[in-house]
Structure 1
Amino acid sequence: MESILNGLNWIVDGGNNLLWTYVLIALLLGLGVYFTIVTKFVQVRLFGEMFRVITEKKDGNKGISAFQAFTISTASRVGTGNLAGVAIAIALGGPGAIFWMWVVALIGMATAFIESTLAQVYKVRDGEQFRGGPAYYMEKALNKRGLGIIFAVLITLCFGLIFNAVQANTITLAFENAFNFDRFVIGIIVAVLAGLVIFGGVKRIASVTQIVVPVMAIIYLVIAFFIVITNFTQIPAVFNLIITNAFGINEIIGGGIGAAIMQGVRRGLFSNEAGMGSVPNAAATANVSHPAKQGLVQSLGVFVDTMIICSATAFMILLTDVYQTGESNGIVLTQSALTQHIGSWAPSFVAIAILLFAFSSIIGNYYYGETNIEFIRESSAWKTVYRVAVLLMVLFGSVAEIILVWNMADLFMGLMAVLNLVVIFLIGKVALDVLKDYTAQRKAGKNPVFYARNITGLKNTECWDEQAERDRQ
């Protein structure tokens, strides 16, 4: 068994080195800058607009609201990446990794706008709901159903199975460290609770996440801001530490800057998912009057995830010296840092927080797989098999080694991102035209409403065609 695991690790490490050293960093940063420029810095000039559209009611009785779609995507985004992922980035890449997380997030907001807008444009009806995502726009915009199926398989394996193993791994490690609980027993409990939700469908997923996500984020941020405020005089030193380690001469000479960039980009992408192709699956479920509205909402999600929640974790860790010892990694490092700040009850608090963060991620991740299985083939039997597989992977992740599950997550996340980034580059002009239509209507003082006929040559948009216009009236 050990030799099999060693062989698996060798294969996974080789794939990660190829993807993350040569391919993905260039794609993520390059296309992020490109989309920022061609959208005329949409993440800056329409930042205030993002807060307006997130509170809008849904456009009719079908589907879910913009805010509910936001919470499903945030449930997937906000999880172990914000607590454990940040700690891993600092442990392996140094404080400078946080700077590169920020860079990926700020330019990734434009990438997130493009992919989520495309998901809205090419979404399809699913009874009283909507579904969509990269697999759907690969088929409808490029006429490449085979490519869509490849993506659907990747995201189902990545999010539904591997990422959920990561979430379960972090939960059980946190509870083992805080309470000395048996990891497998905790895994069983998490699997049972997850099963109760995921067998209830997207509306139950939305109803759970719209309550859990805001509550867990607020509690965690209150603690984080308390720590930052009580250590206010040290904040300039922390910023200096991050910037110095991102560009310092010693880091350049010693090769540390490469580790900082790689870990910052990896953990940043794992956390905010900008360009990965996952969030568009949630964006497509919203019933809004204009596709650009979900593009703006999901762009805001990247900002909230990385610039606020990840930064809070980073500052809590860097305001201590525990990251320098090398004795802790992942969620245990976060627990150790908090112990220095708020006392011996910190590990218990983090364990409860990560249970809420990671459990909501399991729910959100599950939905991404379900909607892509429906793209491949609408079958209740396949959906049941998938649900059982999700719960089995939760059990596997609860007892697996931390490095293996995170490395597997990196590999599948990288493959997904490469495919999605290339596709949105090819069809991104559609999203740009939709953005122009949106801003023109806003300048005219209107609440933007989208019609496919407004974009010359736009096809295969069943939710925005003439019949859809009549349904709205």
Structure 2
Amino acid sequence: MDQLMSIVQGINSILWGYVLIVLLCGTGLYYTLKLRFVQIRKFGAVCKQTFGGLTLSGEKAGKDGMSSFQSLATAIAAQVGTGNLAGAATAIAAGGPGAIFWMWIAAFFGMGTIFAEAVLGQTYKSRDDQGQITGGPAYYIRDGFGSKWMAGFFAVTIIMALGFIGNMVQANSIADAFSTAFGVPHLMVGIGVALLGALIFFGGIGRIASFTEKVVPLMALLYLLGGLYVLITQSSNLIPAIKMIFVGAFDPKAATGGLIGVGVKEAIRYGVARGLFSNEAGMGSTPHAHAVAKVKHPAQQGFVAIMGVFIDTFIVLNMTALVIFATGAIDGQTTGIALTQRAFEIGLGSFGNPFIAICLLFFAFSTIIGWYFFGEANIKFLFGSKGLTPYRLLVMAFIVLGSTLKVDLVWELADTFNGLMVFPNLIALIGLAKVVSKALDDYKEDGTLKVK
């Protein structure tokens, strides 16, 4: 077991140390330039398409897919997860305050990548054997890029990475938080989460869309209000906190007075890696949600996808970082969710720990729903609708198991499969760049095609 652990850790150090950072950021830069900074020049369209006619109780999703906002909420359910609470803190502890600056850079270029993913998801969406709209990277890799084996490889790796192993990680985060805050046994938490998940899993796309469109905005609002309260009470520290980010990006030791002894290289590495892991741009996960949106033109959902990265990184993740800096929670030793809890305990007193436990429940549980949905699309790709019931039962079992076991190997395997699924997705993204560029060029503000 120790030997296997060593091998997996070695693979991950290569994948997430440099290879994937270069490939993901490179793809983001490529699309940003190719699409002529679409994330800036079309930001008005991004806001209009996302929030125009916004409602938390939209039309019921069905065989023809979800509303555009429901698709965004499902994507954000996966994006805004434990990474926004624990990931930001881990990046800060390992790379200093400047890691947040490099998270911004990764997110900015990631907006170009995620626009492409959403456009391709829409362009190559299909219907399953029950007539249900479905889609995602496996579909555009097979039908657009023309590689069945790469599509199959992607489908298998994402089912393992998110549907099974990833959801074990999320369940364990919830169980740990509730055990610490309320003394609830891990197994009881796991069973409760699995049963709640089953109520949504077995309700199909309609129940998933109904859940995400209501819960995701409310959970984000709850967290932001709590964070805003802390920042108001610590307002005198807000400007110095922001200064720490910019100073730390280029002089990490100066930002904390040497408390975190890292260099610029570490700030960039951990900031970019955790940023990409949080917003998931280029990883091939969120296109499953954007593919089923009911829009007139693929570019419209591409704009909505850009907003998903903006909300994940520039709003929610930033709140975590600013609270940590403003409260002075950094001690050079605490990391991960413990650092975030420490910051909110300083800011909210005795309510801080329960507050983070409740937020973590919402964030992690919504991620379980989002990742379940992404896996479901690939189960249908590989096995058809007959594979759904076994898949749902297996996901429930992994949730219960994950809540009771914190095996380091499982965590490392989650990172490995997350990394492996990126390669076929990025290859297809580069290969289908002309399709994405044409979609943007053909788009008019009313959602119709330009006259040739």
Normalising by structure 2, what TM-score? 0.92
Letter in 1 for 2:83: G
CA contact (8 A) 2:252 2:263 kept: no
Superposition pairs for residues 43-442 of structure 1, below 5 Å?
Answer: 43-54=39-50, 55=52, 62-126=64-128, 127=130, 129-248=132-251, 250=253, 256-326=263-333, 328-380=334-386, 382-401=387-406, 404-438=409-443, 441-442=444-445
Query: Which residue in the other structure is 1:22 paired with?
Result: 18
Query: Which residue in the other structure is 1:462 paired with?
Result: none
CA contact (8 A) 2:93 2:332 kept: no
- Structure 2 SS opposite 1:101: helix
Normalising by structure 1, what TM-score? 0.88
CA contact (8 A) 1:112 1:274 kept: yes
The CA distance in 1 between the partners of 2:75 and 2:286, in whole Å, is 6
Letter in 1 for 2:344: L
Query: Which residue in the other structure is 1:448 paired with?
Result: 447
Letter in 1 for 2:173: T
Q: Measure how far apart 1:74 and its partner are.
A: 0.8
The CA distance in 1 between the partners of 2:160 and 2:63, in whole Å, is 32
Deviations 1:37-58 (A, max 9, x none): 1111100111111121123588
Deviations 1:134-163 (A, max 9, x none): 100011112211110100111111110122
Number of corresponding residues: 441
The CA distance in 2 between the partners of 1:133 and 1:317, in whole Å, is 36
Of residues 225-234 and 291-300 in structure 1, the stretch that sits farther from structure 2 once superposed is 225-234
The CA distance in 2 between the partners of 1:324 and 1:405, in whole Å, is 29
Deviations 1:340-376 (A, max 9, x none): 0010111111111111111111011001001011111
Distance 1:172 1:383, change over 3 A: same
The CA distance in 2 between the partners of 1:180 and 1:60, in whole Å, is 40
Letter in 1 for 2:23: L
Distance 1:265 1:75, change over 3 A: same
- Structure 2 SS opposite 1:343: helix
Q: Measure how far apart 1:13 and its partner are.
A: 1.1
Q: Measure how far apart 1:450 and its partner are.
A: 4.9
Distance 1:258 1:393, change over 3 A: farther
The CA distance in 2 between the partners of 1:8 and 1:96, in whole Å, is 34
CA contact (8 A) 2:62 2:205 kept: no
The CA distance in 2 between the partners of 1:267 and 1:21, in whole Å, is 11
Q: Measure how far apart 1:270 and its partner are.
A: 2.0
Query: Which residue in the other structure is 1:471 paired with?
Result: none
- Structure 1 SS opposite 2:432: helix
The CA distance in 2 between the partners of 1:46 and 1:225, in whole Å, is 29
The CA distance in 2 between the partners of 1:125 and 1:415, in whole Å, is 26
Letter in 1 for 2:36: K
Q: Measure how far apart 1:61 and its partner are.
A: 8.6
Unaligned runs of 5+ residues in structure 2 are: none
Runs of 4+ in 1 over 6 A off after TM superposition: 57-61
- Structure 1 SS opposite 2:421: helix
Q: Measure how far apart 1:405 and its partner are.
A: 4.5
Distance 1:96 1:111, change over 3 A: same
CA contact (8 A) 1:108 1:302 kept: yes
Distance 1:60 1:291, change over 3 A: farther
Letter in 2 for 1:425: I
Q: Measure how far apart 1:403 and its partner are.
A: 5.0
CA contact (8 A) 2:107 2:310 kept: yes
CA contact (8 A) 1:169 1:397 kept: yes
The CA distance in 2 between the partners of 1:150 and 1:107, in whole Å, is 26
CA contact (8 A) 1:169 1:402 kept: no
Letter in 2 for 1:448: G
Distance 1:410 1:428, change over 3 A: same
Q: Measure how far apart 1:267 and its partner are.
A: 1.7
